[in-house]
A and B are shown apart, each in its own frame.
Chain A
Amino acid sequence: MDVNLPEKYRPIIDAERCIKCRKCIRECSFGALRFEDDRVKYNGGCVSCLRCVTICPTQAIAVREVDPQFTPHPVFDEKVRRSIIAQANSGGVLLTSCGTDKEYMDIFSHLLLDAAQVTNPSIDPLREPVETRTYLGRRTGRLPMRDGKIDIEADMPPIISMDMPLMIGHISLGSVSYNTQKALFSAAKDLNIIAGSGEGGLHKDFYGFSDWVCSEVASGRFGVTADYLKRVSSVEIKIGQGAKPGHGGHLPGEKVSELISEARMIPKGTDALSPYPHHDIYSIEDLQQLISVLKESTEYKVPVGVKIAAVHNVGAIASGVVRAGADFITVDGLRGGTGSAPRIIRDHAGMPIEIAIATVDQRLQEEGLRNKVTLCAGGGIRSSADMIKAIALGADVVMVYTAALVAMGCKVCQQCHQGICAWGIATQRDELTKRLDPDIATQRVTNLFRAWNEELREVIGAMGIDSVESLVGNRDRLRYIGPNHRIAEIIGVKHSGEGWG
């Protein structure tokens, strides 16, 4: 009774260039190609992951988007009709991965940066220092005094120093391969920043990276052991994820390999289910309880933060989270990535990160809490420009997820949930995971974020700012140029054409 859906992509093979090495066929994990009649033929099922295009030694392959097959209709567009047909076929909840592909939610593109002219000089970061050191953790707001002097012996809350205002977001072992996580961790180490472990424990092979790893305590508590809590730079309680606020996690049994079983401490082949909420947190005072037990268990040696998805009441929730004792708060925006999420939630629930950052920053300032907590923001940070704008809106640290994977080879084909990633990233199959060389991937991620950091230095230098903390929440240096001035009002950014103040 299934109705076929037209192909979306189609590989075109240039017969003149093709040397019939059949590498493309071997590399296509989606089984879209075959060799027949002395040439490469297309089976169907191409997802445009561009693996074949990239590895073809003679560059004989191009993937083309198939022209729309559906009658043009402005309301019942192709996506709408494809969804209807698919769900009529299956009766299922549509599953997808990566961040939402709905473009109307991008506010970053409507923000313009400032630069110095005349009244203050711009700074050349190549020749003069422009600092990007960033701290993650709680601050005291003032320094304790003793006998009229600053007491530099006094205990301070634990805090982490990073070389950039950037963290690699939580991507779990399970959603991605061993080699991928290894590359993310070692890039974090090389860059002296923090990478998130995701919900999946910390594999014993990665204990050497623990100073650069923030471990996640999510609702499934996978791999959360006394040992795990001792081997971290920081702990983050994951309440929600921007791509699927209010939703839990589901790693299908097929993906629970020997390796994953070991890290998550569950039997091989069983589903790994993360409940929707934490069942020890039904209210804010319960969160306080979990924060406290984690602080107690880590002997107050590491910062404990809380990650929430950006939802409509994010300002008030964030202030509650800080009052509950979080040392840092991570807000994950609507466009955040995922290894698997229902399309309905990914595309329709939550709040753009730009608005979330500004409202949380504003709320914390109004409540006198802003100088005590680190605000991390992620979910939709694609470039250094997004990073810079996010910081100017009020984030101390940005979390980057998808871009790190793209640096390694990911082409954002949105098929992670299938677990057969041709690039060896979002998969646990041995024949695929070995495609990713962790050393090369480390280098590529390191290169990317170094370049971003240089671009950050260029931009703040041009603004006449020589240390990134002076950009944090400095919304005076942003202007809105988009269609909806109400957005500008809400995020506290003036419209282009308005002066300072």
Chain B
Amino acid sequence: MSDALVANLLSPAVLFFALGLVAALVRSELKFPEALYSALTIYLLVAIGFKGGVALAEAGLGRVWLPALAAIGLGAFIPLWTYPVLRWGGRMAAVDAAAIAAHYGSVSAVTFLAATNYLAAIGRPYESHAVALLAVMESPAILVGVVLGKRAGGGPPVPLGLVVREALFGRSIFLLLGALVVGALCGPDGMEKVGPFFVTPFQGVLALFLLEMGLVAGRRLEDLRRVGPFLLAFGIVAPALNGALGVAVGTAAGLSAGGAMLLGVLAASASYIAAPAAVRLALPEANPTLSLTAALAITFPFNLTVGIPLCDAFARLLQP
């Protein structure tokens, strides 16, 4: 376990993330152009979606529906337990508790990518079609969180159609699902054609993207003072518990150790793109600094460094 932890900390992905954090902390002038951030995002989502689609074509839908159902259930369940903890344990306003619960039930694609990277580095096989789990797990928690927040507080009326559209068809999920379908239609033949572009450079692109994520997270570190000790602790304890839950559910749904670890990482991760957009729309009274700081400045670095190896160790432990 400690070897795997050290190996993860010394991987290019994590070290570049740390470099980004340092750059933000020393207020370096390093800055990624917005267009590069968008381009890297598109590349990563298309690459992972396409690869997953090809794997899906090979595995067949029959092997995916149960884990996918488990992922949807997990996504919907996480806000149900985190909301009361935040509301009454953390004495937070109802909308803030609901907003944070939505962020933590939804998923972070980058964390998932880093986890697949980790598995590839240690040579553990996993179901490549697990990316379908990433796709289906993004929205349920957002919808549950929004309903929780709406039940608790009045606020201005919400264009519910817009929220559903935002939760289901945000930019990232559209691209991911689109690439998944393209990959499934192309199959292995298509992979042969685009593999050199989408597979070989993937780890390098991810490292570059994580450098930018380090900058993004680092710039929000000073907001940590504003979120209070409860949310700080929540940002570490909640992903650890959710990760364990995800691994257990994944194992029960018949996933391999690698696949169960990925479902664990998905459960542990907190959304910082899709959830903020939908929550801003549906629960405008919620303070976005709380959820975004917790997701980006606490939980994301925790998962990247410690959470991923922890989920992996637990997944191996549970494997029959």
A binds B: no
Residues of B within 8 A of A (CB): none
